[in-house]
Amino acid sequence: MRLLMILLCLALPAAAEEVVLGLSQKEVAITTNFDGSEIFVFGAVKRDAPQPEGKLGVIVTISGPPVPVSVRKKERRFGIWVNTDVVEIEAAPSYYAVATSGPIDDVLDTRENILRRVTVTSMIQSISAPTTVLDATGYVKALIRIREKAEAFQLLEGKVVIDDDTLFRTRIKLPAALTEGAYQTRILLTRDGQVVDHYQTAIDVRKVGLERWLYSLSRNQPFLYGLMSLAIAIFAGWGASAAFSLLRN
């Protein structure tokens, strides 16, 4: 059986076009003064046959670790703003960027988009809403708007440059507020909106130095971390009071 499967695989035609990828960096270190980073993605299209017909497209996606999110609706009641309904999202990417070589609808077919889960809405999973919420998708749209404003969700249409239908490149900005973990990076190669090849790798994002030590302390020894935070707050308050006293004198 195994020999038969190997022979069948050898009999299959090789892909006419393949993605060859490069990254400017595969690791991002989060330090106390980290204010964001920029990833340079570049690559080429490898061909074992004459270039096929159809419009070439390239899509680059970078997805941060998925996290659960609670989206709450606020309403003004009796003169104050209060939380009313809440929609729970089981998993939404902590960061998500999509860069394309053209308008997303031109580069990728709608069916392929759903199958490959390319746009941010397709990456959000398992929405749980109470019966009082009639339009749960509105909460998802609100989450997308908030994270787009914070540059945590990015749609960069036309930002992938293709040279001579062979080489491609783009730059994607990572914001300062990053969640630790593996950031999955995908490159999709399309012809007339249909995916003909894809490549996937990961960028490792980790806290280092003092930032890493404080993070580990807060998780492993929360009581000690709380005492230290309290001591720092007391010392800072005393220092500010002493400085004002000196200025007055």
What's the topology of domain 14-207? Immunoglobulin-like (2.60.40)
**CB contact set of 156 (below 8 Å; sequence gap of 6+):** 97, 98, 99, 100, 170, 172
State the pLDDT at residue 62: 93
State the pLDDT at residue 163: 92
pTM of the model: 0.72
Comparison of pLDDT for 15 and 227, the residue scoring more: 227
CA 9, CA 5: separation in Å to the nearest integer? 6
Under the banding of pLDDT at 50, 70 and 90, the label for residue 191 is very high
Note the pLDDT tens digit of each residue in 150-163: 889 999 999 999 99
Q: Which two tokens stand for residue 112?
A: 């392929």
Note the pLDDT tens digit of each residue in 35-85: 678 889 888 998 887 888 889 999 999 999 988 888 887 777 776 766 677
State the pLDDT at residue 10: 39
Query: 178 and 64 in contact (C-beta within 8 Å)?
Result: yes
State the pLDDT at residue 82: 65
Under the banding of pLDDT at 50, 70 and 90, the label for residue 209 is low
CA 209, CA 33: separation in Å to the nearest integer? 11
Under the banding of pLDDT at 50, 70 and 90, the label for residue 224 is low
3-class secondary structure for the chain? CHHHHHHHHHHCCCCCEEEEEEECCCEEEECCCCCCEEEEEEEEEEECCCCCCCCEEEEEEEECCEEEEEEEEEEEECCEEEEEEEEEEEEEECCEEEEECCCHHHHCCHHHHHHHCCCHHHHCEEEECCCCCCCHHHHHHHHHHHHHHCCCEEEECCCCEEECCCEEEEEEEECCCCCCEEEEEEEEEEECCEEEEEEEEEEEEEECHHHHHHHHHHHHCHHHHHHHHHHHHHHHHHHHHHHHHHHHC
State the pLDDT at residue 126: 67
Q: Domain map of the chain by residue range?
A: 14-207, 208-242
State the pLDDT at residue 168: 93
State the pLDDT at residue 196: 92
Note the pLDDT tens digit of each residue in 105-125: 999 999 999 899 999 888 887
